[in-house]
Amino acid sequence: MRYISTRGAAPTLAFDEVLLAGLARDGGLYVPETWPTFSRDELRAMRGLPYAELAVRVMAPFLGGRLTELEFAELVREAYAEFDHAAVTPLVQLDQSTWVMELFHGPTLAFKDVALQLLGRLFDHVLAKKGQHVTIVGATSGDTGSAAIEACRDRDAIDIFILHPKGRTSEVQRRQMTTVLSSNVHNIALEGSFDDCQDLVKAMFNDTAFRDEQNLSAVNSINWARIMAQIVYYFAAAVQLGAPDRPVSFAVPTGNFGNVYAAYGARAMGLPIERLVVGTNSNDILARFFATGTMSTQAVTPTISPSMDIQISSNFERLLFDLYDRDGAALADCMARFRAGGSFAVTSEQLSRARLLFNGHKVDEDLTQATMTETRRLTGGMMIDPHTAVGLAAARAEQPNLDPAVPLVTLACAHPAKFPDAVERATGVRPPLPPRLADLYEREERLTVLPNDLKTVQSFVRSQVRRTIVRQGVA
């Protein structure tokens, strides 16, 4: 198994190299050269497997022999032992055809733990073998940051710098990042938006000298291994609900397009997914794309679902790569136009191909809130967070077009206690933090406020990074 860049001008890499590289050197994103596939019999044999075993089976073909299955199975087992539900990603049924998959049973109460608990362990394992140190830089609109920090804290071979937009994450989100006082964890509150954070991270990667000097790496949603780990729970849900003998559809609250792209990957691997419903908040660039075929950015509007306050969905490039029939040069052209003018359009043929599988719905603030209220009323007490509400409202909007015999699963991407103000406003009840985070508001915080300026951020990284090159496991 080799990986190729969506822009066609970077070397093909093996799994461990892609893991550490993050973004490709030509500015593109890595994707598998070909998708491994599972037969219907192999899918049936996945029914009833414990999550960690299913995960090994689904992900093993992506490793290309760069880790043994035994080594990998141990990392996977450890990663999912951190979850406080035996099923790891349990399903809850709402009505005859509607389900919710809870992805928030990990250490930071959001779905990003599913990928990052594994990613941190994979990094450590691969770096120890190579005797290397990396500097991880990442941008977060809230949840990626805490999940990445939890995955990397106290690991000898890693320094991690996380940029978040100052004042634009919830207090719980901020505290989950800034109360980790480990010496390898560095929180930067940037005076700017999430897109500014993401642009700075990209700029650091595009500065080749800086990138090499720091041995830069990323764990944000462009990292291939994150997509790989997210593919697993689509298999888990689908085989439980009858795949391959019954198809299934998913509604995914979407920001960077990583989570829903993982569903696209699962389908390419043989999972019978009928429809993918993309839910956006008022930052509806993706819903507009699926309606019109034109991608055009607008200013970011802050909402009650801040992890989706995004106008440039970086993982969308992976889908576009296929819509351009994997022509990297054509895609690089398209992305350059997007950079320069803030918009591009696909052909009507490309749009119809995308719409065979995807549809998008914009869910505004009122509907998000009403969905939280209604869900509590209809289920006799279930609370959902605002991101999940966006997904569920999009699912409800799409349902009239769908076959009711096909289960529609909405992804619950965060625990309601991560967004207590919005949930309380909608339901009248303040969702309590689970026991492991009960004292979060009493913990000490540490962060550095920096202006939206590349040079300033780079010198901060230089001044903070621990220079020790750790050589572990070397006899």
Ligand X SMILES: *Cc1c(COP(=O)(O)O)cnc(C)c1O
Give the span between the Cα atoms of 183 and 164, in whole angstroms.
Answer: 19
Q: How far apart are the first and last CA of the chain?
A: 30
Report, in Å, the least distance between residue 430 CB and ligand X: 18
Among candidate residues 112, 166, 202, 362, the one labeled active-site is 112
Q: Is position 307 an interface residue for ligand X (rule: CB under 6 A)? A: yes
Binder among 193, 254, 369, 458 for ligand X (CB under 6 A)? 254
Q: Is position 259 an interface residue for ligand X (rule: CB under 6 A)? A: yes
Report, in Å, the least distance between residue 311 CB and ligand X: 12
Whether 319 and 260 have beta carbons less than 8 Å apart is answered as no
Q: Which stretch binds ligand X (CB under 6 A): 234-242, 254-262, 356-364, 371-379?
A: 254-262
**Nearest alpha carbon to residue 450 among 461, 441, 442:** 461
Report, in Å, the least distance between residue 257 CB and ligand X: 5
Binder among 79, 148, 277, 308 for ligand X (CB under 6 A)? 308
Binder among 110, 127, 134, 232 for ligand X (CB under 6 A)? 110
Chain center to CA of 141: 11
- The interface mask with ligand X, positions 116-145, x = CB under 6 A, is ---------------------------xx-
Q: Is position 409 an interface residue for ligand X (rule: CB under 6 A)? A: no
Q: Which stretch binds ligand X (CB under 6 A): 87-95, 176-184, 256-264, 265-273?
A: 256-264
Return the number of the residue (64 or 145) whose C-beta is nearest ligand X: 145
Whether 368 and 284 have beta carbons less than 8 Å apart is answered as no
Whether 128 and 104 have beta carbons less than 8 Å apart is answered as no
**Taking CB under 6 A as the criterion, which residues in 410-469 touch ligand X?**
413-414
**Nearest alpha carbon to residue 316 among 380, 363, 252:** 252
Residue count, binding to ligand X (CB under 6 A): 17
State which amino acid sits at residue 99.
W
State which amino acid sits at residue 231.
I
Instruction: Please give the sequence-ordered ranges of beta strands (E in DSSP) within 255-325, or none if there are none.
Output: 273-280, 294-296
- Report angle CA 274, 257, 51 to the nearest 5 degrees: 65
Q: Is position 283 an interface residue for ligand X (rule: CB under 6 A)? A: no
**Taking CB under 6 A as the criterion, which residues in 208-227 touch ligand X?**
221
Whether 381 and 313 have beta carbons less than 8 Å apart is answered as no
Upper half-sphere CA count for residue 272 (Cβ side, 13 Å): 17
Q: Which stretch binds ligand X (CB under 6 A): 3-11, 186-194, 249-257, 288-296?
A: 249-257
Report, in Å, the least distance between residue 388 CB and ligand X: 8
Return the number of the residue (308 or 426) whose C-beta is nearest ligand X: 308
Examine the residue annotation and report whether 112 is marked as an active-site residue of this protein: yes
Q: Is position 112 an interface residue for ligand X (rule: CB under 6 A)? A: yes
**Taking CB under 6 A as the criterion, which residues in 365-394 touch ligand X?**
387
Whether 129 and 72 have beta carbons less than 8 Å apart is answered as no
Report, in Å, the least distance between residue 145 CB and ligand X: 10
Give 465's contacts (C-beta < 8 A, 6+ positions apart).
135, 159, 214
Binder among 38, 257, 264, 324 for ligand X (CB under 6 A)? 257
Give the span between the Cα atoms of 206 and 315, in whole angstroms.
Answer: 17
Return the number of the residue (123 or 257) whose C-beta is nearest ligand X: 257
Q: Write out the two tokens for 70.
A: 């035994």
Query: ω into residue 61 within 30 of 0, thus cis?
Result: no
Report, in Å, the least distance between residue 394 CB and ligand X: 12
- Annotated active-site positions, please? 112
List of residues contacting ligand X (CB under 6 A): 110, 112, 143-144, 221, 253-259, 307-308, 387, 413-414
